[in-house]
Amino acid sequence: MSEGFDAIVIGMGPGGEVVASRLLDAGRRVAVIERELIGGECGYWACIPSKTLLRPTEARGEADRAAGLQQPALDWVGVRGHRDTMIRHLDDSQQVESYRARGARVVQGPARLAGPGQVEVNGQQLRAEHVILATGSETASPPIEGLGDVTVWTNREATTLHEIPERAVLIGGSAVGIELGHFLARMGTAVTIVQRGPRLLGREEPRVGELVAAHLADEGIDIRTDTQARRTYRDGTDTVVELDDGAAVRTDVIVLAAGRRARLDGLGLDSVGITGDHSGVDVDERCRVTDGLWAVGDLTGVSLFTHLAQYQGRVVADNILGHDRITNYTAIPRVVFTDPEIAAVGLTTAQARERGIDVATTELDLTQVLARPWTYETDPRGTLGLLADRRRQVLIGAWAVAPLAEEWIHQAALAIRARIPLETLLDTIPQFPTYSEAYLKALETLQV
């Protein structure tokens, strides 16, 4: 005999949590199923530990660059202790209790679909009008011969590390490789980043990759682009990584940062007549997979961010609660939390041209036009790029490599999402002296 609910959420990362919380708040009968920890990858092995680890090295960098400050001492035991607090010592018992107290049926175990509206977990059968898949993603393993014979970290080992390795080779030069590489380098590790494409952050504006490479090189990071690891093997206590350009790098650990794959193995998608591959499960504009079946987060492959998973969660919950709502992905912020921060939103120039947009672009060296970089640090930095649609007279993209850009990129996100006319943006009054003033200065140089 199966137990019935209004909704069953499979996977309680940020996407699943938002759907479950909203449905519970609306008084629905909800079952939540989690096979590891409520909070998901983000809470224990991704966003939260990585940002917690990066912050002390960032603060120390800020102190280095502020006039008259002595460099603060970095206490690794204190840093990792706070990381452990932030990841709740990999214990979700309070989360489990809290969902139970809110009326949810919490089941700990791996769930699989067993037909439309039917879910199987730990030998129990559950049924619901709505089933939400939110199983996330896992590290993809690039085809490198010998990976099984050497020390290899995914994001999980890297973000829960106990000791700082002397040397590390990161395979992949996008968000994961850059954030973890930056953190390790600032902790004293000799870091090499191996990037298959011609530039770091290959999906961003090419100029972003160039600027980031220069900043990382200043941190002492060895960046190898246009190459990939072919083979790895042990030589005494060393791990040797052979690259396909003929070079060999000696290291203590290899960190996999070459992308992620949707977690759908064993999910029973065939029982509801759908297929998916490791790039994700197809969803419509309401995040519906098929009648009564929904998917959110990394599993959809739309954009692998917590804020996107949460947004999709809000859209799904609203639709289930009878408020018709469709997704709009035009302004998803994309931030890499290095020092300086790397932030982008909207289209790149190449994407705009592919869509036939008559695009105007500008790039501004903030140190040439603003006071803030000079009052902020002794060796000022910062670049902002803007993209506008000449026909519609609105912003369509922005990127910045600059201090605090993770915060002020949201002005561009709002301008793009709300299609605020350039004329209005040019009539705003930014606070002096801030990095936010950069928008006005850059807009004034746009040839529209």
Ligand X SMILES: NC(=O)c1ccc[n+]([C@@H]2O[C@H](COP(=O)([O-])OP(=O)(O)OC[C@H]3O[C@@H](n4cnc5c(N)ncnc54)[C@H](O)[C@@H]3O)[C@@H](O)[C@H]2O)c1
Contact criterion met (CB below 8 Å) for 7 and 23 = yes
Task: Characterise 395 by phi-psi region: left (phi > 0), alpha (psi -120 to 50), beta (else).
Answer: beta
Nearer to ligand FAD (CB atom), residue 406 or residue 437: 406
For ligand X, what does the binding mask look like between residues 49 and 88, x meaning CB under 6 A? ----------------------------------------
**Of 379, 369, 383, which is closest to residue 430 (Cα–Cα)?**
369
Please choose, out of 60-68, 157-165, 171-179, 413-421, the segment that lies near ligand X by the rule CB under 6 A.
Answer: 171-179
Check binding of 251 to ligand X (CB under 6 A): no
Minimum distance of ligand X from residue 148's CB (angstroms)? 16
Look up residue 1 and give its amino acid.
M
d(CA 99, CA 97): 6
Helices (H), 26-174: 40-45, 47-65, 76-86, 93-101, 155-159
**Which lies closer to ligand FAD via its Cβ, residue 35 or residue 167?**
35
Q: Which is nearer to ligand X, 116 or 142 (CB)?
A: 142
From CA 274, how far away is CA 253, in angstroms rounded? 39
Helical pair 76-86 and 47-65, crossing angle rounded to 10 deg? 140
Distance CA 316, CA 303 (A): 16
* Start-end of H helices in 139-244: 155-159, 175-186, 206-218
What distance in Å separates the CA atoms of residue 242 and residue 249, rounded to the nearest whole number?
A: 7
Least spacing, CB of residue 207 vs ligand FAD, in Å: 23
Residue 269 binds ligand X (CB under 6 A)? no
Out of 52, 195, 232, 338, the only residue in the binding site for ligand X (CB under 6 A) is 195
Binding-site size for ligand X (CB under 6 A) equals 25
| Annotated binding-site positions | 51, 135-137, 172-179, 259, 298
Contact 129, 6 (CB under 8 A): yes
12 versus 336: smaller Cβ distance to ligand X: 336
Please identify, using beta-carbon distances, which residue of 34 and 205 lies nearer to ligand FAD. 34
- Token pair in block for residue 241: 């990584």
Q: Which residue ranges are tagged as binding site for FAD? A: 51, 135-137, 298
- List interacting residues with ligand FAD (CB under 6 A): 10-16, 33-36, 40-42, 46-47, 50-51, 110-111, 134-137, 155, 159, 176, 263, 267, 297-299, 304-307, 309
- List interacting residues with ligand X (CB under 6 A): 142, 171-177, 179, 194-197, 202, 228-229, 257-260, 304-305, 335-337
